[in-house]
Amino acid sequence: MKKRHIIGIGIIIAFVSFSLVVFSNSLTPYVSVAQAKTAKSTVQVRGVLGSEKVTVADNGKSVKFSLSDEAGDEVKVVYNGTKPDGLEQATSVVAVGKYQNDQFVAEKLLIKCPSKYQGSVNKQ
């Protein structure tokens, strides 16, 4: 093989390796509330609104509520952003962030609202 081919293959291998490392670091796994409390990186916690009422503070730029996972564990969630529409009616909430200072600090909230088409049947 020519020296140019070896250098080209080396560059391709380095690029693919770098891409795989960056991709694996960007994945945020779904975890339970208990696992989120011990996680060192950003995670996703899925659940339903818990017993704590949804409150909006700081002129509408911060939202606080509790999230209860499938195991029944509950965590206080703080989201620094505007309150998503339909949060109180959500059938499921996914909070993406980290557990810090006895609360889950969410970077993103994903809200699943009940479908307005749910239960309707198209009869002709």
What CATH number did the domain enclosing 68 receive? 2.40.50.140
Position 89 in a domain: yes
Tell me the three state secondary structure of residue 115.
coil
Q: Alpha helix locations (H) across the chain?
A: 3-26, 33-38
pLDDT tens-place string over residues 43-69: 999 999 988 888 888 787 899 999 999
pLDDT tens-place string over residues 107-122: 999 998 876 655 555 5
Position 84 in a domain: yes
Q: What pLDDT, on a 0 to 100 scale, did the predictor assign at position 119? A: 58
Position 3 in a domain: no
Place of tokens 């994945």: 27
Mean pLDDT of the chain: 85
Which structural domain range is residue 62 located in? Answer: 29-112
Position 16 in a domain: no
Whether this model's pTM surpasses 0.75: no
